[in-house]
Structure 1
């Protein structure tokens, strides 16, 4: 478990997410329209130069690692975001009561992008929906809350894009959708995980109350090819 979860991008793209990106030698990345995440097979400082050469586009990438490192040239570091990786340790198949959760499809992408742009739960692109299992809650025909799946290494599934419109906070929508994801992942015989910014104490507290525990620090490095 330690090796897989310490390097989730690598193990996701070498398992269930292999159709959504590319692996080249010891480098890997999702297609930009799916996710900006990238990774390397081994140690960050050893793999980052090869990743720079391997990626065939100039879009920014988010390098995900459990290592706190100084990013080497020729990469240009745009931001370094400390996070926590959390793993579900709560009751099996938790029940959740709430409003109807509607499966989200490509026809909902524009609303999903708008909601995630407003609430900023993490990167959400035009084809992020291809990770699958997205559900939403609607109010008067408008999408007001959602959650889904993202990285999917063997034996684990990451819950992602958990968000609620500011006008609908306090109604338990995020809790309801998150527990539905936990239940679905456990039904598939896998373990739910998620990632959260280290300074988001409110979200961490909510996740802990639902049965998640902090497993390790994880870092999100926003990088761009240095074209100066």
Structure 2
């Protein structure tokens, strides 16, 4: 059984658990190593120890921080203050309707990063596709859609990096890739979930029609270490 409480601080449980090899930090504050994904997490998400994290960050480096809405500590700044939904899968096991999808690896890293920068599906780095299974659909050698798995812990597996080239949208490519991932995860006995921006109501409705439901809404901030404490 998957414990829903883990989702409230899933990035910490991943970075302090099964994905610790991708982490840098301490027993109370961690980040993904450079180029994997610009995300930080804390053992106590509501009262994060930014002082413990600071030695592992460069001045001006920006990170996503989930679940914290408190006072900004000296030496740090908040560039974005928003909300996002955590959504969990409650539908049946879908068919794999993207059998032609190709696994993405280091050969595809540049195209994957360019697609993420163009469509902005969320935090993404040059090595994000190494964090889990990522699949892409191609038109000849051009990557036109992708989706994959970013974090996992306690039986929960995140679907992330879902995006499609603007001139290929409306064809259901991302949905097909998600079905492929959902099927693989469910057959492994895992519980799929995803994050979506609180302002992206269209995506929320789409995911609900697919079979996801909202687990909770949480604060998400983009934070950066200033060059000097304020």
Q: Aligned equivalents of 1:7 and 1:150: distance in 2?
A: 15
Q: Counterpart of 2:10?
A: 8
TM-score, normalised to structure 2, is 0.91
Q: Counterpart of 1:32?
A: 34
Q: Aligned equivalents of 1:99 and 1:172: distance in 2?
A: 14
Gaps of 5+ in 1: none
Question: What value does the CA root-mean-square deviation take over the aligned residues?
Answer: 1.6
Correspondence for 1:17 among 16, 19, 33:
19
Say if 1:98 and 1:172, in contact at 8 Å, map to a contact too.
no
Q: Counterpart of 2:70?
A: 69
Q: Counterpart of 2:193?
A: 193
Q: Counterpart of 1:57?
A: 58
1:172 and 2:172 correspond: yes
Q: Secondary structure at 2:152's aligned position in 1?
A: coil
Tell me the CA shift for residue 9 of structure 1.
1.1
Q: Counterpart of 1:161?
A: 161
Q: Aligned equivalents of 2:74 and 2:185: distance in 1?
A: 39
Q: Where does 1:104-143 land on structure 2 (aligned, <5 Å)?
A: 104-143=104-143
Gaps of 5+ in 2: none
Q: Counterpart of 1:215?
A: 215
What is the total number of aligned residue pairs between the two structures? 225
Q: Aligned equivalents of 2:51 and 2:30: distance in 1?
A: 10
